[in-house]
Structure 1
């Protein structure tokens, strides 16, 4: 969505708008603006930042936000921390702005984040626009702050407030610290302001730019840093006009027609690490204002109203699926144009690795086989072996550079012929190894060990207290909104409208187990939780009926410190919104395989950090993706053997 702000216009045009239409100037001293139509009466506005939000050197009556509240009726809640940066330095006690996130109320409609706090004397790293690290990294902390609000207050409006100019405080060189004074890393307030705008654009936030409203550090700030009464009045006038442009959720939107799909999405050029995309313009009943570019289902850029984009930071010899969607001024997002592209192989390497040794049997069960093999080598001058491909099971399985793996999801008492191929970094694939002929064991008498089983039998109404067949009692307090989880005709049903999950404990002794659920995905976004520890540390898969081709099933993790929801994998699934699907998640050490109706859709290997965080978690649960028409017939957790 394009976020309209008065500060986008030159001052001479604003003066004309003000005189003709009564729109208040962004700055302009202390005169009270003329009244504007407002739907902000009683709206809770949460301000999160440093001393500028705290109102340092101002009385409560002089604070600009309180003056705005008198004009439009908002209910401000201030969380300002003087002298603190967004990012923790990494030493001592963490008193950063980001560290205070859990103090924020989760009832706000509008959240304002002030980008300041990057005093050059602290030498804070600027970071990259996509960073999520929160130690000595402004970009990572600011990204994580926005993600925290999005996760914990779904639907809230987020406003990035760009820092005021500065001419105060003494730098290490004995001179006043100005807007363009650089720290030891070569970054100034201008750099941090520019990065805050980029991050706001990436997250589709509103931007209120205080750097351009006419606040003079020498005249409108007592110390060259904090606004005096005159400066506060300018911020008040700008803020009053800015807030009047915000469209609250539920307000009439006017244009509800989405643009068409972009045409002729093509790759103009590619290298080992980049892909240049181009497309023809989409159409809209009012007008297209920009495009969104996705890679493997994840938004990577909103480049504006342009028809080209270069995707960077890619891996050589790797297939990617790119989708482009058009958006209009009201945020309506149109259908996708999709293109699959494989990045180039390094020049010169066209020789495949040697053939791996014939696999040997390490162990087997009724539904899995563990094999090992002798490693391949890549010829001198080659790019090196990057992974191995195991064939002959239910489907092809790609593993890393290790020489042992477990093939799961097999049928009992069934013969398989397993082979191994090697692939190098350039994408060259060896011939298959000699096959290992192996038959799985017969299924154990009595079947696998059941750790949790619930068919959601019980009286209609709240699911709280409902007892599973395996004996565990359903506790809706594990959900974000407990009242939204109900029993409906012997199925679990979620009746809310925002993303939520409910968690169940199991009797599993480790994180190696299978989670299975029968899902009726009428709303197209239901899923199942696995390897859960608590409400801030779990993994899940869910359907996405609007996902790109080949990405209709998505896997996520919940980060236990930043509370961010991060997509880590995706796979194909044909979603029957009029029927049901059996979703099975098989966890074995650092490997997670997801099957839909017996067909493998995802095969994901956890990183070392992910394995350490999630590998021994034994909880399961259900995930509702912001829709309330899907239901769950049953949920089970049982041993892999």
Structure 2
């Protein structure tokens, strides 16, 4: 009898999950939000009976079918237009498991509005993202499909969207330094898609995987949407599969570190900054980020193979080394070091006047950088190395001055 009890305990233990439940936040606009329709079911649903379920349920169900315990987190708890109606969705693979409809998706939202908060299409007056993010468990995984509603007619508008997306990722990393972020190329094929790989590379850290997911390639906007924008069940499941494949890729078993970065070089040495570059490492799965060390201390991470290190101390000798980190956070040995001594550094101010009064909005070009004088007729340049600099000062109605200044 005693042996039978021991055997039963062993069987029960093998059925338990050895992994903690992962917390997932889905970030986006209406495509991620999903929509309720009064003409469709209320009460219990597995998804298709909703007008627009969004990929969120189908992705969660794929995790559930794979035996991965996951729950959704976020400030919002409803579909668009759901109001007081109830929707309960169960996994078809494990009916006792219920989908938690928490998320960070808002109909019509733009990247700026997502960060700033305010009124949205559901009649919610949301706080800013910092406040929302602090109100629930720190996400282990973030899915970002955001930017469809942003203007992308000019390079400046695209740059603003890019910077907003990087801010969102940075805030997620501040909340959880180990967060995994999957950021999508939009199914709408917005111009921001050309920047997604760079956003991921610039945001990746040694402890935080940031991986681009190509949702655009292969997506059929004609047959897989209700209105050429919002995915129907086919489109939602396509997106869910893409998310799932990306998640499996960055979490697959891998115990081998990347190769050691080679060719580390330093250039553009100034008083408080230098530029480092190196040759890309190789890895069986892929390199997520490079860790940069100064005098043995980790000071920065990037997914690129070139980075300007700022905030250094003038007239100081630094020894820099770089290591590579893959998606499973295996870190290579550090590279051969390279030394650099920052320069002395000079700060100068230039005042423009006509002999009797200062001149505002005069154009000053010094060290190749063009600036305009302030109300006091002054422009300032900081962190300049010793040497000779050409300058030009001009303003409509005045004689243009040019010359050379030695530091």
Give the TM-score, by structure 2 length. Answer: 0.52
Cα distance change, pair 293–344 in 1 and its aligned pair in 2 (3 A): farther
Among 235, 240, 244, the residue aligned to 1:231: 235
Among 212, 216, 219, the residue aligned to 1:211: 216
Cα distance change, pair 424–85 in 1 and its aligned pair in 2 (3 A): closer
- Quote the Cα distance in structure 1 between the aligned partners of 2:247 and 2:285: 24
Cα distance change, pair 107–277 in 1 and its aligned pair in 2 (3 A): closer
8 Å CA contact 1:51–1:81 kept in 2: the answer is: yes
Relative to its length, the structure with more helix (as a share) is: 2
8 Å CA contact 2:288–2:326 kept in 1: the answer is: yes
Structure 1 unaligned segments of length 5 or more: list them: 1-37, 129-136, 167-178, 180-187, 354-381, 384-422, 429-641
> Is 1:144 aligned to 2:144, yes or no?
no
- Quote the Cα distance in structure 2 between the aligned partners of 1:148 and 1:90: 10
What corresponds to 2:110 in structure 1? 85
Relative to its length, the structure with more strand (as a share) is: 1
Cα distance change, pair 323–235 in 1 and its aligned pair in 2 (3 A): same
Question: For each residue in 1:328-362, what CA deviation from the matched residue of structure 2 results, as whole angstroms up to 9, or x when unmatched?
Answer: 4632113434323246799xx9xxx9xxxxxxxxx
Among 21, 26, 33, the residue aligned to 1:54: 33
Question: For each residue in 1:479-515, what CA deviation from the matched residue of structure 2 results, as whole angstroms up to 9, or x when unmatched?
Answer: xxxxxxxxxxxxxxxxxxxxxxxxxxxxxxxxxxxxx
Cα distance change, pair 89–102 in 1 and its aligned pair in 2 (3 A): closer
Q: How many residues align?
A: 278
Give the TM-score, by structure 1 length. Answer: 0.35
- Quote the Cα distance in structure 2 between the aligned partners of 1:217 and 1:208: 17
8 Å CA contact 2:29–2:109 kept in 1: the answer is: yes
What corresponds to 2:151 in structure 1? 120
Shift of 1:210: 1.0
Shift of 1:326: 2.8
Q: Secondary structure at the match of 2:213?
A: strand
- Quote the Cα distance in structure 1 between the aligned partners of 2:257 and 2:227: 49
> Is 1:243 aligned to 2:222, yes or no?
no
8 Å CA contact 2:180–2:209 kept in 1: the answer is: no
Shift of 1:236: 3.1
What corresponds to 2:14 in structure 1? none
> Is 1:110 aligned to 2:159, yes or no?
no
- Quote the Cα distance in structure 2 between the aligned partners of 1:238 and 1:425: 49
8 Å CA contact 1:85–1:97 kept in 2: the answer is: no
8 Å CA contact 1:146–1:158 kept in 2: the answer is: yes
Cα distance change, pair 98–145 in 1 and its aligned pair in 2 (3 A): farther
Question: For each residue in 1:145-189, what CA deviation from the matched residue of structure 2 results, as whole angstroms up to 9, or x when unmatched?
Answer: 2222222234333222332125xxxxxxxxxxxx4xxxxxxxx34
Cα distance change, pair 89–124 in 1 and its aligned pair in 2 (3 A): farther
Cα distance change, pair 102–91 in 1 and its aligned pair in 2 (3 A): closer
Among 306, 320, 323, the residue aligned to 1:322: 320
Cα distance change, pair 40–51 in 1 and its aligned pair in 2 (3 A): farther
Residues 135-214 of structure 1 mapped to structure 2, 5 A cutoff: 137-166=160-189, 179=190, 188-191=191-194, 193-201=196-204, 204-212=209-217, 214=218
Shift of 1:254: 4.7
Question: For each residue in 1:95-138, what CA deviation from the matched residue of structure 2 results, as whole angstroms up to 9, or x when unmatched?
Answer: 6999244334215432222232443279795576xxxxxxxx33
Among 52, 59, 73, the residue aligned to 1:68: 59
- Quote the Cα distance in structure 2 between the aligned partners of 1:287 and 1:41: 24
Shift of 1:310: 6.5
What corresponds to 2:392 in structure 1? none
- Quote the Cα distance in structure 2 between the aligned partners of 1:328 and 1:146: 19
CA RMSD of aligned residues (A): 4.8
- Quote the Cα distance in structure 2 between the aligned partners of 1:92 and 1:207: 25
Residues 533-544 of structure 1 mapped to structure 2, 5 A cutoff: none
- Quote the Cα distance in structure 1 between the aligned partners of 2:106 and 2:285: 42
Q: Secondary structure at the match of 1:303?
A: coil
8 Å CA contact 2:269–2:343 kept in 1: the answer is: yes
